[in-house]
A = this chain, B = another copy of it.
Amino acid sequence: MSDASILSPKGFRAAGVACGLKSVAGKKDLAILVADQAAGAAAVFTTNQVAAAPVLLSRETIKRGRPRAVVVNSGNANCCTGEQGLADAREMVRLAAEAVGAQPDEMLVCSTGKIGEPMPMDKVAAGIRDAAQALRSDAQAAADFAAAIMTTDTVTKTCCLTDRIGKADVTVAGACKGSGMIAPNMATMLAFITTDAHIGSRALTAALRTAVAGSFNLVSVDSDTSTNDTVLCLANGQAGGAPLAPGTADFDAFAEALEALCAETAKALVRDGEGATKFIEITVEGAATDDDARLVARSIAQSQLCKTAFFGEDPNWGRIACAAGYSGAEFDPSGMSIVLEGLTIFQDGRPTDYAEADAAERMKRREVRVRVLLSEGAGRAAWWTSDLSHDYVSINADYRS
Contacts and interface: CB of A to CB of B under 8 A. Distances in A.
Given A318-B115, A326-B185, A398 B350 contact: no
Interface string A333-368: 110100000000010011100000000000000000
A330 interface: yes
Nearest to A395: B308
A343 to B, nearest CB: 14
Interface in A352-401: 388-390, 392-394, 396-401
A390 B80 CA distance: 30
B393 A322 contact: no
A312 B50 contact: no
B49 A397 contact: no
Contact of A49 (B180, B311, B325): B325
Given A330-B49, A390-B393, A397-B314, A227 B325 contact: yes
Contacts of A46: 326
Given A116-B351, A305-B224, A334 B397 contact: no
Interface residues of A, number: 66
A386 to B, nearest CB: 12
A351 B318 contact: no
A397 B322 contact: no
B349 A312 contact: no
A401 B346 CA distance: 13
A319 B50 CA distance: 11
B80 A351 contact: yes
A246 B29 CA distance: 64
B393 A393 contact: yes
Contacts of A304: 222-224, 304, 388, 392, 396
A226 interface: yes
A309 interface: yes
A312 B399 CA distance: 8
Contacts of A81: 350
Nearest to A391: B393
A324 interface: yes
A47 interface: yes
Interface centre among A51, A82, A399 (most CB of B within 10 A): A399
A321 interface: yes
Contacts of A336: 50
Interface centre among A223, A323, A333, A397 (most CB of B within 10 A): A397
Closest 6 pairs between A and B when the two form their complex, measured CB to CB = A312-B397, A50-B325, A308-B396, A316-B401, A48-B325, A225-B326
Given A47-B326, A82-B334, A185-B326, 12 more contacts: A48-B325, A49-B324, A50-B325, A116-B351, A183-B326, A223-B304, A225-B322, A225-B326, A308-B393, A314-B400, A389-B393, A393-B393
